[in-house]
Amino acid sequence: MSTKPVSGTESRQYDRQDAWWIEPLFTVLSLGLFGVYALWVAWNRQHFEFGPYLSPFYSIPIPGVHAKDLDWLAISPAFLVLWIPLGFRATCYYYRKAYYRAFFWDPPACAVPELRKAYSGERAFPFVLNNLHRYFWYLSVPVVAFLWYDAIRAFFFEDGFGVGVGSLVMLGNVILLSYYTFSCHAWRHLAGGCLNCMSKHKTRYTLWQRITRINESHGFWGVTSMLSVWFTDVYIRLCSMGTITDIRLF
């Protein structure tokens, strides 16, 4: 796409006076720090569990397998699952817009010129891999199902059912992740795409309408669920290290 301003819009494109750079700066910092943190957590292999709480980074989507059962592995068990949510987010339509703007300045904001002179779309490596998004969605659904299992388990302590602050943190996290996963554009297309006549497919139409409702805030779910995964791991880590005390509400 040309960076040349459209005739008659020069002042609007090149003289933008507002703080348009705040959003790409926030994106660079949040995505960059989260990426580094996620890799460090996976590499670290410690403090990922406290009582019934399990860090989402170490939730292995294999029935009956706990991350601790895989201590014998040469690599951290977190890497067995990490590539799925990272691939899902990296190929997500919302994140694509965010990182194309923030990291590649392509363009950095509306009405601000982009850096590169030519645009080849997503037809060449590595960005052609973004077309795998639908498959990452398929893989992410079982991951979310296992996170629900972990969140329910977080209400069962050694002395029975109870509610700790950590239980609520884990529950909030999986709710946000569910909203993010099930507001996905690819899922919306799966539910209601390729239909010539919606009225002949009432169930799919109803599902599509519901997805559309939460899809409108997909960016919000994308950001809040990323922050909640981060917060949940930090919370469990600090409890496990003895830095903070998990409060048992009842």
Q: Quick one: the chain helix, strand, coil %, rounded to 5?
A: 60, 5, 35
Judged by beta carbon, residue 101 or residue 133, the one nearer ligand FES is: 133
Q: What residues does 248 pair with on adjacent strands?
A: 164
Residues that bind ligand FES (CB under 6 A): 92-94, 133, 137, 184-186, 218
CA distance 245 to 232: 14
Q: How far is the CB of 142 from ligand FES (least distance, A)?
A: 15
Cα 74 vs. chain centroid, distance in angstroms? Answer: 27
Measured from the CB of residue 94, what is the shortest distance to ligand FES in angstroms? 5
Position 77: which residue type?
Answer: P
Closest contact distance (angstroms) between CB of 212 and ligand FES is 13
Q: Which C-beta is closer to ligand FES: that of 31 or that of 54?
A: 31
Residues 6+ apart with CB under 8 A from 18: none
Provide the minimum distance between the beta carbon of 215 and ligand FES in the complex, in angstroms, as a whole number.
8
CB contact at 8 A, 137 and 186: yes
**Closer to ligand FES by Cβ: residue 54 or 223:** 223
CA 119, CA 157: separation in Å to the nearest integer? 55
Rg (alpha carbons) of the chain, rounded to whole number: 21
Give min distance, CB of 169 to ligand FES, in A: 23
For ligand FES, give the closer residue by CB, 53 or 182.
182
Asked if residues 240 and 47 have their Cβ atoms less than 8 Å apart, the reply is: yes
Q: Which is nearer to ligand FES, 70 or 84 (CB)?
A: 84
